[in-house]
């Protein structure tokens, strides 16, 4: 799993990875049908992004499906509004770093550490 500090960096890296995984396709001829993304909040409060592109709609990856069809193709082609993508992201899907390298939607509330982390996350 590779995460990036900005959504733009994550999209660029995912585009490069898609082209590397599909050597017979160049960027101009790529037909992308699905754009997946995942937002992470690290323990230090930094926000990171991970993005994936797929040829077929419905393919599963490490990230959550966000856009399909022409919308996914537009993001792949670089014709997107980062603010719009951020606004469409549903915050309840954001993964928070609970322990180094371990991410969860919410901290476990059955421990004092978990309750402290939940209080800290709520403050943000």
**E strand intervals along the chain:** 34-41, 47-54, 64-68, 95-99, 102-104
Q: Which domain holds residue 28?
A: 7-96
Is residue 28 a part of any domain in this protein?
yes
Neighbouring CB atoms inside 10 A of 2's CB total 11
Is residue 22 a part of any domain in this protein?
yes
pLDDT for 83: 95
Is residue 105 a part of any domain in this protein?
no
The size of the chain, in residues, is 124
Total domain count, the chain: 1
Q: In this structure, are residues 59 and 48 in contact, taking their beta carbons and an 8 Å threshold?
A: no
Is residue 2 a part of any domain in this protein?
no
Is residue 107 a part of any domain in this protein?
no
Residue closest to 117 by CA, chosen among 55, 41, 25, 51: 41
Residue 1 burial (10 A CB sphere; 0-12, 13-18, 19+): exposed
Is residue 77 a part of any domain in this protein?
yes
Distance CA 80, CA 73 (A): 10
Q: In this structure, are residues 92 and 105 in contact, taking their beta carbons and an 8 Å threshold?
A: yes
Mean predicted confidence (pLDDT) in 46-65 = 95
Digit-coded pLDDT (tens) for 56-93:
998 899 999 999 999 999 999 999 999 999 999 999 99
Is residue 43 a part of any domain in this protein?
yes
Digit-coded pLDDT (tens) for 94-121:
998 887 878 888 766 666 766 666 666 5
Distance CA 72, CA 2 (A): 20
């Amino acid at each position: 799993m590779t995460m990036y500090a900005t959504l733009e960096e994550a999209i660029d890296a995912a585009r490069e990875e898609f082209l590397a995984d599909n050597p017979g396709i160049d960027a101009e001829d790529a037909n992308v049908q699905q754009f997946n993304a995942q937002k992470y909040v690290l323990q230090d409060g930094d926000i990171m992004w991970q993005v994936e592109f797929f040829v077929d709609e419905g393919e599963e990856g490490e990230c959550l499906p966000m856009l399909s069809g022409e919308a996914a193709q537009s993001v792949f082609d670089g014709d997107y509004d980062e603010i719009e993508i951020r606004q469409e992201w549903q915050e309840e899907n954001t993964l928070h770093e609970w322990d180094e390298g371990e991410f969860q939607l919410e901290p476990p509330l059955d421990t004092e550490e978990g309750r402290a982390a939940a209080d800290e996350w709520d403050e943000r």
